[in-house]
Amino acid sequence: MKILIKVKQAAKKVLDLVCPPATQDLELNTKNRDAAIQADHIQYGPLNVDVPGSYWEDIADYWNTTEEAAKASLCGNCVAFDISPRMKECMPGETSDEDGQLGYCWMHHFKCHSARSCRTWAKGGPISEDDMSAQWQEKNQDSLEEKKRKKKKKKKKKKKADRCTRIAKRKYDVWPSAYASGAVVRCRDGKIWKGVKEDIVKIVEEELEALLSEMSEGNMDDKPYRTDAEARKDVLGEEELEEKKKKTDYSKEKDSGLHGWFSRQGGKGKSKCWVDCNTCRKDKKTGRKTCKSCGRGEGEKRAKYPHCRPTPSDCGTSKKSGKKSKAGKKG
């Protein structure tokens, strides 16, 4: 009884399986066959079984065997050669001639001839039973689904890696390097740079370049920065301002570039990097100057283009940015 049930289940499984696409599509079959002929690791042939040329000699040399042994290793006795009843029904028209018969190759997915061979030949065929044919088809379907999953995963990972690589190239002076590559790996794992926006990096580069240029040329302005009426009451004297300039430390940025920039405490909260002097206000409760981070958040608009300095206390040591952001322009 159990045997009968298993036979019925196997028969149903065979009926549920559709014919391989290449058996129904001449263009696809030809494409797969031509690919098998041209691929170095397959070399399906000979093209003309009656005039094989040096095919058998070449494949015997590839297998490190004799021509006689090579000629006995044909598609007709390959483990992936399917000539089961269900497969014969899948292949319309005449499937045999004086040299042999057509069967379906589960390795390379096209209708191949029993009198030919290829470099991936494997002992154990042909497939002559429907249940064995069904098993091969299920294996192939699982393999195709796995390939699709890997391709999708690789595509997703690649997209993420592109972002990490772009950020690393901007943050590291030397690329490629062991440090930069290590940072990219950590970024891909989601351990660093989660909130880093690429437009922020551009702002930093521009501000840092302008600042270092001012420092090298000695053009640091000696007038204090004022944001509003509150700030004007706390105007620093000229001598105090000059002393403040001397205390302003840009060594991190000079030595480490963007590394130094990102190591700054920045604005409110846990945000890193410099502050935007255009946003500085005096806290009424503490009396301390507070500023927003130089890097703008996603979708955030500001009236003026960020004017960045290492810390709130450094705001006032040079001229403010005269640029207006797009958000600050009147339409």
Q: How many CB atoms lie within 10 A of CB 137?
A: 21
Question: What single-letter amino acid sits at 171?
Answer: K
Examine residue 140 and state whether it is found in any structural domain, yes or no. Answer: no
Q: At 228, is the pLDDT very low, low, confident or very high (cuts 50, 70, 90)?
A: very low
Find the mean pLDDT for residues 164-175: 84
pLDDT tens by residue, 3-34: 655 555 554 454 457 899 999 999 999 999 99
Best-predicted range by mean pLDDT among 45-54, 167-176, 306-315? 45-54
Proportion of the chain above pLDDT 70, given as a percent: 62
Name the token pair of 207.
Answer: 């501000």
d(CA 192, CA 179): 14
d(CA 128, CA 76): 11
The closest alpha carbon to 109, from 23, 5, 202, 227, belongs to 23
d(CA 251, CA 253): 5
Phi, psi at 175, each rounded to 5°: -140, 130
Contact (CB, 8 A) for 291 and 311:
no
Asked whether residue 16 falls in the same domain as residue 108, the answer is yes
Examine residue 98 and state whether it is found in any structural domain, yes or no. Answer: yes
Find where tokens 């590559």 sit.
181
Find the mean pLDDT for residues 98-103: 92
Examine residue 121 and state whether it is found in any structural domain, yes or no. Answer: yes
Contact (CB, 8 A) for 188 and 194:
no
Examine residue 155 and state whether it is found in any structural domain, yes or no. Answer: no
Sheet holding 308-309, edge to edge: 289-293, 275-282, 308-309
Crossing angle (nearest 10°) for helices 2-16 and 130-171:
60
Find the mean pLDDT for residues 159-171: 75
Crossing angle (nearest 10°) for helices 130-171 and 178-188:
120
The more confident residue out of 238 and 300 is 300
- The total number of structural domains in the chain stands at 2
Examine residue 58 and state whether it is found in any structural domain, yes or no. Answer: yes
pLDDT tens by residue, 107-116: 999 999 999 9
- Average pLDDT over the chain, rounded to whole? 75
d(CA 305, CA 294): 10
Examine residue 146 and state whether it is found in any structural domain, yes or no. Answer: no
Domain that holds residue 112: 2-128
Give CA separation, 117 vs 39, 70, 79, in Å: 13, 9, 12
Asked whether residue 123 falls in the same domain as residue 217, the answer is no
Q: Which residues of 234-269 are buried (b: 16+ CB within 10 A; e: fewer)?
A: eebeeeebeeeeeebeeeebeeebbebbbebbbbee
List alpha helices for 238-301, DSSP H: 238-247, 251-256, 258-262
Examine residue 96 and state whether it is found in any structural domain, yes or no. Answer: yes
Which of 83, 111, 128 finishes a domain?
Answer: 128
Contact (CB, 8 A) for 194 and 298:
no
Positions of E strands within the chain: 81-82, 96-97, 100-105, 110-113, 275-282, 289-293, 308-309
Which of 91, 111, 128 finishes a domain?
Answer: 128
pLDDT above 90: residue 268:
no
Which of 75, 99, 128 finishes a domain?
Answer: 128
Asked whether residue 123 falls in the same domain as residue 26, the answer is yes
Examine residue 25 and state whether it is found in any structural domain, yes or no. Answer: yes
